Amino acid sequence: NAGVTQTPKFQVLKTGQSMTLQCAQDMNHEYMSWYRQDPGMGLRLIHYSVGAGITDQGEVPNGYNVSRSTTEDFPLRLLSAAPSQTSVYFCASRRTFRSSYEQYFGPGTRLTVT
Amino acid sequence: AQTVTQSQPEMSVQEAETVTLSCTYDTSESDYYLFWYKQPPSRQMILVIRQEAYKQQNATENRFSVNFQKAAKSFSLKISDSQLGDAAMYFCAYRIRGETSGSRLTFGEGTQLTVNP
C-alpha cells in the first residue's frame, strides 16, 4: 500500500491563479479530509468527505472547493489563490468516520502564494 | 466548541532523560478520543499514542505514556529515555467519538521538542 499520497510536494502560485492539490489513498478508506497547517495554529479542517459523492465544510472552507467522485481520490481546488492561503496542506483518511481507527496523513503540500 | 491548548511552545530535554509535554482541552462531551501526534522535519504526521476517554487506564506505547485526567481535562505526554529521534513538533489532538458532522480532529498549537546529546 502506498497509503495517502499528495501531489505536488511544493507549489508557488501568483495571486488570482487557480490550482488543484491532489490526494489519493489506496486503503479503501471511507473518510477523507483536508487540513491546513499554519505556524502557531496547529492543523485546521478545511473540508471533509464521508464517502464518494458526499462532502462537507470544515472549520476554514472559504476559498476552497472539493469533490469526491471515487473512494480513492479527494482533490482540493483553490479557486483564486490569495496570500492568506500560503500554508502547508495535509490530506488524511480513515476507515470510517465513526471509528476509533487511526487517521493516516499524507506527506503534505507546501503552497506559497505571492 | 472544542479547544485544545498546548501552553509550551518549546521544550528541551537531555538525551536519555524524561520530559513531559502538557495539553489541556475544553469540551462538554463525555465520550471522545485524545491523541498525540509527532511531526518531524519531514512534515509527516505520525500518531504516537491514543487514549479513549471512557478508559480510566492511561495509555502506554513503549517509551511514551500519557497522564489522562478527565475531570481536569488534562492530557500530558511523557517521553522516557529520550532519544535524538524524538526531536520533533508534538501536537495534542481531540476528536468526539461517533460524531456525525465530520469527526474532525481539533489540534493544539504544538510543542517543539529539542533533544540535546
Note the pLDDT tens digit of each residue in B40-80: 999 999 999 999 999 989 999 999 999 999 999 999 999 99
pLDDT of residue B101: 53
When the pLDDT of each residue in chain B is averaged and rounded to a whole number, the result is: 93
Distances in Å between the alpha carbon of A77 and those of A22, A65, A85?
A: 9, 5, 12
B69-97: average pLDDT: 95
Give me the residues of B, 61-90, that contact A with CB < 8 A: none
Distances in Å between the alpha carbon of A27 and those of A48, A82, A101?
A: 17, 33, 13
Alpha carbon B62 to chain centroid, angstroms: 15
pLDDT winner (highest mean) among A1-15, A86-100, B100-114: A1-15
Residues sharing a CB contact under 8 Å with residue B56, sequence separation 6 or more, in sequence order: none
Is pLDDT above 60 for B100?
Answer: no
User: What are the beta bridge partners of residue B84?
Assistant: none
Is pLDDT above 90 for B104?
Answer: no
Q: Is residue B106 within 8 Å of residue A44, measured between CB atoms?
A: no
Distance CA B106, CA B6 (A): 12
For residue B5, list chain A residues with Cβ-Cβ distance below 8 A.
Answer: none
Instruction: Report residue B99's pLDDT band, with 50, 70 and 90 as the boundaries.
Output: low
pLDDT of residue B103: 67
For B104, which of A48, A88, A98 is closest by C-beta distance?
Answer: A48
Distances in Å between the alpha carbon of A46 and those of A26, A29, A75, A102, B94?
A: 22, 18, 12, 19, 16
When the pLDDT of each residue in chain A is averaged and rounded to a whole number, the result is: 92
A17-25: average pLDDT: 97
pLDDT of residue A110: 96
For residue A88, list chain B residues with Cβ-Cβ distance below 8 A.
Answer: 43
Candidates B32, B43, B49, partner chain A, best to mutate (most A CBs within 10 A)? B43
Cβ contact, residue pair B45, A98, below 8 Å: no
DSSP letters for B60-85 = EETTEEEEEETTTTEEEEEE-S--GG
Instruction: Report residue A39's pLDDT band, with 50, 70 and 90 as the boundaries.
Output: confident
Is pLDDT above 70 for B102?
Answer: no
Helix%, strand%, coil% for chain A, nearest 5: 5, 50, 45
Q: What grid cell was written down for A99?
A: 471509528
If one compares A75 and A101, the residue with the highest pLDDT of the two is A75
Q: Which residue spans within chain B are E strands per DSSP?
A: 3-5, 10-14, 19-21, 24-26, 32-39, 46-52, 60-61, 64-69, 74-79, 88-96, 106-107, 111-116
CA closest to B39 among chain A residues: A107
Instruction: State the nearest Cα–Cα gap between A64 and chain B, in angstroms.
Output: 17
Distances in Å between the alpha carbon of B105 and those of A70, A83, A96, B69, B98?
A: 23, 25, 14, 20, 12
